[in-house]
Amino acid sequence: MSGPDGIVRIFDTTMRDGEQASRINLNTGEKIQIARQLERLGVDIIEAGFPAASPGDYDAVLNVAREVETPVVAGLARTREHDITVAGDALKGAAHPRIHVFIATSPIHMEYKLKLTPAEVLREVERGVSLAKGIVDDVEFSAEDASRSDIDFLTEVFTCAIDRGATTLNIPDTVGYAMPAEFEEFCRTIINRVGRDGVVWSVHCHNDLGLGVANSLAAVRGGARQVECTINGLGERAGNASMEEIVMSLRTRADHFGADTRIDTTKFYGTSKLVSLLTGVSVQPNKAIVGINAFSHEAGIHQHGMLCNKATYEIMTPESVGAPGTDLHLGKHSGRHAFNERVEKLGYQLTDEQSRAAFELFKDLCDKKKDVSDGDIEALLMDRVVQVTPERRYELKDYTVTVGSGGKPTASITLSHGGAETTEASVGNGPVDAAYKAILKILGFSPELAEFRIRATSELADALGEARVILRYKDIKAQGRGASTDIIEATISAYVEAVNRLYSFAAAKEVVI
């Protein structure tokens, strides 16, 4: 991955460090959807997972590796032989595979977590990097908790990793402890001391003190030419450095950094929305670059300035990050072309078959409501088109819910399963409670309802209702989504979807339900 010195490679770890932290697992279909979008966005490296961590992670790396062509696909591995061979296997189909080997190097991690001496850690680095290099040509080495490690020891560790064949050397601020000026100097010192042409220096900053982006940018000034980051800053604890903020800082302040990326920034908004919808982690309204308020001007003085010259209050345009100026609604007169264009803008890449199905569903929706907003389209796509549940074990066939001021709400639910239909009824504290109790009678087991959320997909009175349900059973968590003009139907669909996903995650983990 050599390149002009002014190019900063973007290493996306949304599906590894980001997913590790979100409360729910993404399935392989969802990861493929994100990977396709990251490829369109132009990231240089996609870290698709930690293959030895679980069969689900292995499967995701395997499939993402086969799916994308241009980016490098990386799989994470400890220095253990098992991790490295499993990562190598998962990456077999990749056009550009990378094994990312890591071990901690700070005194606290070595003594208490690894229970290894520095000399033993050094031997692990030697062994792990050599093993990985025997499998793939592109090996990255990370010194976990580097920012709290002894700089002389780090110099030895990185020198050893390069001698054994690593070509990307990563300096993580694993616990978000570094300060920008100090981190810039720390990176510069290591890079100067270790030297070597042809290797790429990387950083990976967490956000515990809210400095993940600042530290990543400082490291670029210190000589780093790869930055590891995530969409929306998703990640462990307070998150990882946010990709969109790093890239737009480099672009907007090229005068300051003298470095740029290969990212097509107009894809940021759609990518952010896609990741948020799939992970269920919403983006705060005032989030830089991709928050819904990032380009809205409320104060009269600001609005006046904007009318005179947009540059008075905007240092970058909404168009440059793909943010829609206004949420223009589609309706029954909108054609296939306009619909497809909007779908793409929202960050979805559909197959021809999915695109046909989506357009049919859109037309059905237009019969029910006059204006179809972006939120409605996203809900429809997520709920009915791209949501990939490997096997729909249960399907909702029919439901009746009765509510009124006198008496308890009652629900009757019919689900199909294995070719047969079962109907059960229940009363509950509310219509949703009654419906869920009726479903539990059909299932014959009781997952815990870990989370339940409903929202409207736009501000209009006839917006779609979108429901999200997270179910937990024996340490497995699964999310379900449902969207409908009828909110009760949305909540029931979301529950059934979560049940189906629970079964598929349980099967992957060999857990019996």
Binding site for ligand KIV (CB under 6 A): 17, 102, 142, 144, 170, 172, 174, 204, 206
User: By CB neighbour count within 10 A (0-12 exposed, 13-18 middle, 19+ buried), where does 357 fall?
Assistant: middle
How far is the CA of 172 from the CAs of 11, 43, 150, in angstroms?
13, 19, 13
**Nearest partner of 281 among 245, 238, 342, judged by Cα:** 238
What minimum distance in Å lies between the beta carbon of 265 and ligand KIV? 25
Residue type, 13: T
Residue 144 binding target from ligand KIV, Zn ion, none, CB below 5 to 8 Å by type: ligand KIV
- What are 482's two structure tokens? 């449902």
What minimum distance in Å lies between the beta carbon of 206 and Zn ion? 6
Nearer to ligand KIV, 77 or 386 (CB): 77
Residues numbered 319 to 338 that lie near Zn ion (CB under 5 A) are none
Among 9, 12, 14, 17, which residue sits at the site for Zn ion (rule: CB under 5 A)?
Answer: 17
Nearer to ligand KIV, 234 or 372 (CB): 234
Residues facing residue 47 across a β-bridge: 74
What minimum distance in Å lies between the beta carbon of 508 and ligand KIV? 23
CA 65/CA 89 separation, integer angstroms = 11
Nearer to Zn ion, 146 or 471 (CB): 146
What minimum distance in Å lies between the beta carbon of 129 and ligand KIV? 14
What minimum distance in Å lies between the beta carbon of 128 and ligand KIV? 13
Residue 142 binding target from Zn ion, ligand KIV, none, CB below 5 to 8 Å by type: ligand KIV
Angle at 277 between CA 341 and CA 387, to 5 degrees: 80
Specify the stretch interacting with Zn ion by CB under 5 A; choose among 1-9, 10-18, 83-91, 392-400. 10-18
Nearer to Zn ion, 17 or 376 (CB): 17
Nearer to ligand KIV, 175 or 438 (CB): 175
**Nearest partner of 462 among 353, 390, 373, 383, judged by Cα:** 373
At residue 158, the 3 state secondary structure works out as: helix
Question: Is 376 among the residues that bind Zn ion (CB under 5 A)?
Answer: no
- Residues 246, 30 contacting (CB under 8 angstroms): no
What minimum distance in Å lies between the beta carbon of 477 and Zn ion? 21
Long-range own/partner contacts, residues 193-197 (CB < 8 A, 24 or more apart):
193/155, 194/155, 194/158, 194/159, 194/162, 194/169, 196/162
CA 57/CA 425 separation, integer angstroms = 39
Residue 493 binding target from ligand KIV, Zn ion, none, CB below 5 to 8 Å by type: none
Number of residues engaging Zn ion in binding (CB under 5 A): 1
What minimum distance in Å lies between the beta carbon of 236 and Zn ion? 6
Residues facing residue 423 across a β-bridge: 414
Nearer to ligand KIV, 14 or 170 (CB): 170
Nearer to ligand KIV, 85 or 106 (CB): 106
- Residues 454, 491 contacting (CB under 8 angstroms): yes
Q: Distance from first CA to last CA of the chain, Å, rounded?
A: 46
Nearer to Zn ion, 154 or 382 (CB): 154
- Residues 443, 417 contacting (CB under 8 angstroms): no
What minimum distance in Å lies between the beta carbon of 335 and ligand KIV? 46
Query: Binding residues for Zn ion, per CB under 5 A?
Result: 17
